[in-house]
């Protein structure tokens, strides 16, 4: 796997060690491209999720995290949010959720393009 900025362990479900290997490779390549564009660190707060973990945190039943198509990236300021959001769009992400403390991005092929807020 040729991913420059991330290790698979960053995407592990807290309840399932080594589960970062379940992440979709094309998703990881696109996220790596966004990180390169942004030129700032991305701290992954949620990557792959087991069904049980997803339920325990109140995730939606058809969460893209369950199939390795999604990640949440921590943001600490408006400027950081702008840099990351801009990089995700330039990298080709078409599904982005913006919250106060994180940005969700995914490449789920079974879902429509969308931008939303939490």
Torsion-angle region of residue 117: left (phi > 0), alpha (psi -120 to 50) or beta? Answer: beta
* DSSP calls for 26-87: HHHHHHHHHHHHH-S---EEE-S--HHHHHHTT--TT-GGGGT-EEEEE--SHHHHHHHHHH
Residue written as tokens 């790596």? 32
Question: Distance between CA 53 and CA 69 in Å, rounded?
Answer: 16
Q: Which tens digit of pLDDT belongs to each residue from 21-65?
A: 999 999 999 999 999 999 999 999 999 999 999 999 999 999 999
pTM of the model: 0.95
Task: Name, in order, each residue with C-beta under 8 angstroms of 67's C-beta and a sequence gap of 6 or more.
Answer: 22, 24, 108
Band the pLDDT of 1: cuts 50, 70, 90.
low
pLDDT in tens, 63-107: 999 999 999 999 999 999 999 999 999 999 999 999 999 999 999
pLDDT at 23: 98
């Amino acid at each position: 796997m040729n991913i420059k900025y991330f290790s698979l362990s960053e995407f592990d479900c807290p309840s399932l060690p080594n589960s970062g290997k379940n992440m979709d490779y094309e998703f990881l390549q696109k996220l790596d491209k966004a990180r390169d564009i942004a030129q700032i660190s991305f701290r992954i707060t949620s990557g792959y999720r087991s069904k049980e973990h997803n339920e325990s945190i109140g995730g939606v039943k058809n969460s893209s995290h369950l199939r390795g198509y999604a990640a949440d990236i921590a943001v600490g300021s408006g400027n950081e949010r702008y840099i990351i959001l801009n990089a995700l769009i330039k990298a080709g992400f078409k599904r982005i959720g913006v919250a106060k403390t994180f940005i969700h991005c995914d490449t789920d092929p079974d879902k429509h393009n969308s931008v939303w807020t939490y």
